[in-house]
Amino acid sequence: MEAVVKGIPNSLHGDLSKKLVNIVLGTKDKNAVPAELAKKIIYLWRQDQMASLTGISCLIEASITVDAEATYSVLDELGLQEATAVLKTLQ
């Protein structure tokens, strides 16, 4: 996961984090994200670190758990097809 996130240009981190947050928060299944991951995301949000490498990594993990296809669609929309391909092999 770390290699995938490092390959995402910094210029896309803000837009990507917003779109991934929408996926995670938009889920109807409130137990979809494991508690520890949710706590980490909340901590990063409070520290204004959602667009950091750690923040993006946590958001990708959570959004894939919630809705993998929507996550891949967002990545593709931002021109990150290589990241999508790698993440699909990790599942």
pLDDT tens per residue across span 16-63:
999 999 999 998 888 899 999 999 999 999 999 999 999 999 999 999
Residue 80: half-sphere exposure toward Cβ, Cα within 13 Å? 24
Helix (H, G, I), strand (E, B) or coil at 32: coil
| Pairwise CA distance, residues 66 & 68, whole Å | 7
- C-alpha torsion sign, points 78, 80, 85, 90: negative
What's the total number of domains in the chain? 1
Distances (CA, A) of 31 to 1, 28, 68: 22, 9, 16
Could you tell me the residue range of the domain that residue 54 belongs to? 2-90
- pTM across the whole model: 0.93
